[in-house]
Structure 1
Amino acid sequence: MRLNTQIIGALLLTGAAITAQAADPASVNGKPIKQSLVDYIVKDATARGQKVDDNIRAIILNKLISSELVAQEAQKSGLDKQSDFLAKEELMRRELLVNSYLQDYIKKNPISDATLKSEYDKYKAAMGDKEFKASHILVKTEQEAKDVIAQLAKGGDFAKIAKEKSLDPGSKEKGGDLGWFPPAAMVKPFSDAVSKLQKGSYTTTPVQTQFGWHVIKLEDARDAQPPAFDKVKDELRNSLQKQQLEKLVADLRAKAKIVDNSKTAVK
């Protein structure tokens, strides 16, 4: 005995509808809480190392139900039609889209270990082969720096003068102590002056930088001790990825037709 093909089709459609309804774990005033939302939250939590069991799934579903209830009330009050909300919604959607694209770009264009190692070698070269421990007294004018040098020449205590006169808040209370640093960590006029000093001596000529005038004392020097590759690997990767994304945006701007109508004409 043959079943009518129309009846079979109707049964299949009914079964598909029942399956679709069952796929969503809940509904609020007739609006379904999509299983895809639950799945995404579970996936995100799992990726962050959280163990998701039935209890956590129930909490996730309960929060989605509560948020849907509030969202429906917000829609009833017309908040979703207000200009501020629409602008914020557009900006958030754009930011999400941009971040998703940039993450995907980084994933598809990974920084190789060879590139990281090359960057590390450049980093070590920039650090130099020496590290210095120095103190300084920062003042506003060249004459003030000369007066400090004159005080030191008469036997003045460097640390005491630094506490009294230095304008550098980071080192002033420590008697001008800057700790250990590689030459690359300081602006060039400062590092050049330090590298010419003998241990225990200070600059007899004021050193000018964009921060003011310095009197510098070399406390000690040693061979450079750069951090191991594994310790700075992630930092180097982040730096290279930032450069990579900046270049991507610059290239997109270069190829795009951008019309800026915000600037008023100069009269």
Structure 2
Amino acid sequence: MRSVLPLLILATLAGCSGGAGKPPAIQYTSGEPALRVNDQPVSAALLAEVARGRGLDLDNPEQRLRAIKELSDYVLLATIAHKQNMSDDPAFGAIVESQRLQGIANATLDYYGRTHPISEAALKAEYDAQVAKAGTDSYDFAQMLFDNETEALKASEELLAGKDWAAVYAQWQGKAKQAREFQDVRLVQLPSPELVDALKKLKAGESTKVPVKSQFGWHVLHLSATKPVTPPAFDAIRGELQKHMLARQGDQWMEKLRGEAVILDLKAPSKGETPAK
């Protein structure tokens, strides 16, 4: 059987519970129905969500049929689970509840983002900050990265003595942990602030006078050229910028919620004990 969208089907099944007064198999029925499966009306909003999750266009007849088939499968399975009281099985119930909670969590974060939109002023300020951080130039440079400072100093001493970079590079590249040339690199792409500071101090044709220490080792750098870069227009990246800021906003909200909560691990092993295998 083909895969289904677990959040949708399991969230639907979440209402199945044995006994009298159990919730219906399909709990979301708001709005105008889009289809009927046996005697069960299914809302247009639910069909739209299934289509969105699958990337289907409901205005396209073929894709609409695919979305209807997908959703009708969910309804048929939910109905079977409901009638047979499958939620009485602990494993079934745990799977459904886990996926239900995940679905609610995702929908809650989505709702929070929709009800706390990023203002145009905040988007523009973020754009300006990122442009400033990225800088107005790209860098063509080479580096030799060494595991130990001694060899890095020896390579630097040869450069200080007036030896050409290409000759020193050819001599030491086999002994370095990495010897590589880079082109069109923005400062924001560099993995450590030490490399950013070092490159910003160099002029084209210059090499570092002493090795640059970072978490990766000791770097000997040579700057070949810098080239001006025109940043992308604000309107061109507005959508991606908004997604990034909404995600960051959601992360900050979650951090606040965690900080206000009391979360206890009731089954944590005592000190000195090892978890059972």
**251 and 161 in structure 1: CA distance in 2 versus 1, 3 angstrom threshold:** same
Alignment correspondent of 2:22? none
Alignment correspondent of 1:40? 46
CA contact (8 A) 1:140 1:213 kept: yes
Distance in 2 (alpha carbons) for counterparts of 1:239 and 1:145: 39
**166 and 74 in structure 1: CA distance in 2 versus 1, 3 angstrom threshold:** farther
Match of 2:244 among 233, 239, 246: 239
CA contact (8 A) 2:50 2:71 kept: no
Distance in 1 (alpha carbons) for counterparts of 2:186 and 2:69: 55
SS of 1:218's equivalent? Answer: strand
Alignment correspondent of 2:186? 182
SS of 1:134's equivalent? Answer: strand
Distance in 1 (alpha carbons) for counterparts of 2:228 and 2:34: 66
CA contact (8 A) 1:46 1:52 kept: no
Aligned residues: 235
What RMSD in Å do the two structures reach over aligned CA positions? 3.5
Alignment correspondent of 1:191? 196
SS of 1:25's equivalent? Answer: strand
CA contact (8 A) 1:131 1:222 kept: yes
Distance in 2 (alpha carbons) for counterparts of 1:234 and 1:68: 35
Distance in 2 (alpha carbons) for counterparts of 1:184 and 1:53: 43
1:91-110 to 2 correspondences below 5 Å: 91-110=98-117
CA contact (8 A) 1:199 1:219 kept: yes
Deviations 1:61-91 (A, max 9, x none): 5555555556667779886544333222111
SS of 2:219's equivalent? Answer: strand
Distance in 1 (alpha carbons) for counterparts of 2:117 and 2:80: 45
Match of 2:147 among 127, 140, 143: 140
Distance in 2 (alpha carbons) for counterparts of 1:84 and 1:42: 30
**148 and 265 in structure 1: CA distance in 2 versus 1, 3 angstrom threshold:** same
What percent of counterpart residues are identical?
26
- Taking structure 2 as the reference length, the TM-score comes to 0.69
Alignment correspondent of 1:25? 36
SS of 1:164's equivalent? Answer: coil
Distance in 2 (alpha carbons) for counterparts of 1:68 and 1:101: 23
SS of 2:144's equivalent? Answer: strand
Counterpart residue type for residue 181 of structure 1 = V
SS of 1:203's equivalent? Answer: coil
Distance in 2 (alpha carbons) for counterparts of 1:128 and 1:53: 45
Distance in 2 (alpha carbons) for counterparts of 1:24 and 1:126: 52
Match of 2:121 among 114, 118, 121: 114
Alignment correspondent of 2:207? 202
Deviations 1:114-135 (A, max 9, x none): 1111111211222234432211
Distance in 2 (alpha carbons) for counterparts of 1:54 and 1:121: 44
Q: CA deviation at 1:137?
A: 1.1
Counterpart residue type for residue 184 of structure 1 = V
1:131 paired to 2:141: no
**85 and 236 in structure 1: CA distance in 2 versus 1, 3 angstrom threshold:** same
Counterpart residue type for residue 236 of structure 2 = K
Distance in 1 (alpha carbons) for counterparts of 2:73 and 2:240: 41
**178 and 72 in structure 1: CA distance in 2 versus 1, 3 angstrom threshold:** same
**71 and 133 in structure 1: CA distance in 2 versus 1, 3 angstrom threshold:** same
Alignment correspondent of 2:174? 164
Q: CA deviation at 1:23?
A: 9.4
SS of 2:141's equivalent? Answer: strand
